[in-house]
Structure 1
Amino acid sequence: MNWTDIPSYLCLAIYALATVASLAGVLGRSPRVKKTAGLLCVAGFALHTLWLLISIADGSFSAVSRGFYLLPLSWILALAGLLVARRQHMDIALHFVAPWAFFLGACALGFSGTPGSLPLVGPLFILHLAAIFVGVGVMAVAAGAGALFLWQESAIKHKTPLDGFRKDLPALGALDKVNAMATLVGFPCYTLGVLCGLLWARISWGSFMSGDFKEWISFIILALYALLFHQRQALGWRGRKPAILALVIFAASLFSMFVVNTVLSTQHGF
């Protein structure tokens, strides 16, 4: 291990501590422990940023590999969660940031030795990946809010007493607002990412599509994203349906990352 590896290990260690502190703060309903967890998340994100910058500077991202894909994605997820926590005064977002950032960061570190087979060349390809990362990252936060929304709604519907740490959960309206914001930001970004990918493929491969399953799952995710965006903006969807659809979109994104990229044959560099 050389000095450039230190930020990555410190980042994961702090995210792990933040996860434990978040769980302890929620279960114990301790404001002090919750605040500590939040500070640890911020410290972990700072190291996460340094880790990402070092990886770019030392040439680790000269080609797309599994580690490349997961590191910036985990960074964007952490950034989205921190912004929600700060701007919407929703500290519960930090309880999702820490474990997910730790999990995806650990996977990125574990796959860091995997050689990439798809060269990272040209601004169009970089924009393609960056826009996709933003689309998936913000939907991860929306999925967390959606899971809480469904849990809260079920408890209210069945008249289950909101005791213990459930009393600290955000209102249904606040959770739905996170879904709305994520959709408003994520859908245009994901659409831009897919379009840039098609143009890059046309320039580099001579055709808009190669026909592998990675592309089809991306179009399925885009269609689900478009449905969520349209139903929210045009038909005024609120509440349960958008929450479920956010979970479906994020689950499909995870399937694309961890099943399609590792099990199925694809031209997309893994």
Structure 2
Amino acid sequence: MPVNETLSQFSDWSYTTAVVVYVLAMIFFLVEQSFGRKGTQGAERTRVRAAELVGAGGPPSTTAAEPPAGSAGPTPAGRERSRAERFGRMGVALTVLAVLLHLSALVLRGLSANRVPWGNMYEYTMAICLVAVVTWLVVLRRSPVRHLSAFVLLPVVILMFVGGTMLYAESAPVQPALQSYWLVIHVSAAAASSGVFLVPGVASVLYLIRSRHEKDPQKFARFGPRLPALDVLDRVAYRTTVFAFPVFTFGVLCGAVWAEAAWGRFWGWDPKETVAFIAWVVYAAYLHSRATAGWRGNRAAVINVIGFAMTVFNLFFVNLVTTGLHSYAGVG
């Protein structure tokens, strides 16, 4: 069927608008990250100081207690915290709007070519980023990590910028080798798992930064204290990896079945297959180490970061640089 150029154009406009809205949301989250916890830290320092004075026999400080009845209202620290939280909530609203635009771009792209919208690197990257942001929105409902949203949106914005410029491909039918129902099953599982893996990858990097700061307060002195507690970051990384790993495993198995149908063998040590298998081993090692008490903490986080690095390496280097049976990037 001929490509619907109108739908393709609308898809491109939705994609570009989504990137702009993601950037705006990231700015709002950075405002919350920068100012949202100053009031909390100041109040905590005041309470600690008041406790020291009382312990030394001094008079209790009224600034450490709740505002007295009839006071004019919240303290300046409370107002500062409230304003920053308002920016954070607006950032979430903008992120939801961007997700709707992002989803529209993906759906319109598929409708324009009358196929699933992940037949080349541009579309595949678009799908991965959509899954990553949706996953983060789910995490926000379960964990107090909203002020970290900018660190998740940053790689998403970078990937979408690269996808929309260097990896962009016109809407067109896929190559004959990809005209199979396995494109729907195998590639969708790979895109979904890769998108979810972005969240624990970022969480593990932040875990290592927070851990380094706690061991040496001089390291990341301005940034480390603003991060959530180590157990929160560890829980986010572990739970999202637990969700993504079975989907990734399913995608690898489906790829083997498709390879047998297309090339007459389940496994051929193609570069894409090899790196995917290495990434699978790394994530399996992470889950095993995380479930073992002696391997929790920094070592488990390092393994998770390595797994995410292998996923990114497989997405870009293997697809764009190496030559193999999976060379369907569609770039240019």
- Paired residue for 1:187, among 239, 245, 249? 245
Shift of 1:241: 1.6
Question: Where does residue 99 of structure 2 map in the other structure?
Answer: 45
Question: Where does residue 306 of structure 2 map in the other structure?
Answer: 248
Q: Does residue 113 in structure 1 map to residue 169 in structure 2?
A: yes
Same amino acid, percent of matched pairs = 27
Letter matched to residue 12 of structure 1: V
- The answer as to whether partners of 2:204 and 2:302 remain within 8 angstroms in 1 is yes
TM-score (norm 2): 0.74
Aligned CA distance change for structure 1 residues 154 and 267 (closer, same or farther; 3 Å)? same
- The answer as to whether partners of 2:209 and 2:220 remain within 8 angstroms in 1 is no
Question: Where does residue 137 of structure 1 map in the other structure?
Answer: 195
Counterpart-to-counterpart distance in 2, 1:265 and 1:8: 29
Letter matched to residue 170 of structure 1: P
Counterpart-to-counterpart distance in 1, 2:117 and 2:125: 15
Greater shift, 16-25 or 137-146, is seen at 16-25
Residues 122-179 of structure 1, C-alpha deviations (whole Å, 9 max, x = no match): 4433221222223222221111111111111111111349976644421111111012
Q: Does residue 72 in structure 1 map to residue 127 in structure 2?
A: yes
Counterpart-to-counterpart distance in 2, 1:63 and 1:231: 34
Residues 168-192 of structure 1, C-alpha deviations (whole Å, 9 max, x = no match): 4211111110121022112111111
Shift of 1:215: 1.2
Aligned CA distance change for structure 1 residues 97 and 224 (closer, same or farther; 3 Å)? same
Alignment of 1:79-158 (within 5 A): 79-110=134-165, 111-113=167-169, 117=175, 119-158=177-216
- The answer as to whether partners of 1:82 and 1:93 remain within 8 angstroms in 2 is no
CA RMSD of aligned residues (A): 2.4
Q: Does residue 58 in structure 1 map to residue 116 in structure 2?
A: no
Question: Where does residue 28 of structure 1 map in the other structure?
Answer: 35
- The answer as to whether partners of 2:117 and 2:124 remain within 8 angstroms in 1 is no
Question: Where does residue 239 of structure 1 map in the other structure?
Answer: 297
- The answer as to whether partners of 1:81 and 1:96 remain within 8 angstroms in 2 is no
In the alignment of these two chains, the number of paired residues is 270
Letter matched to residue 105 of structure 2: W
Aligned CA distance change for structure 1 residues 4 and 148 (closer, same or farther; 3 Å)? closer
Q: Unmatched 5+ residue regions in structure 1?
A: none
Residues 173-221 of structure 1, C-alpha deviations (whole Å, 9 max, x = no match): 1111012102211211111110000001101111113432111111110
- The answer as to whether partners of 2:106 and 2:123 remain within 8 angstroms in 1 is no
Aligned CA distance change for structure 1 residues 63 and 163 (closer, same or farther; 3 Å)? closer
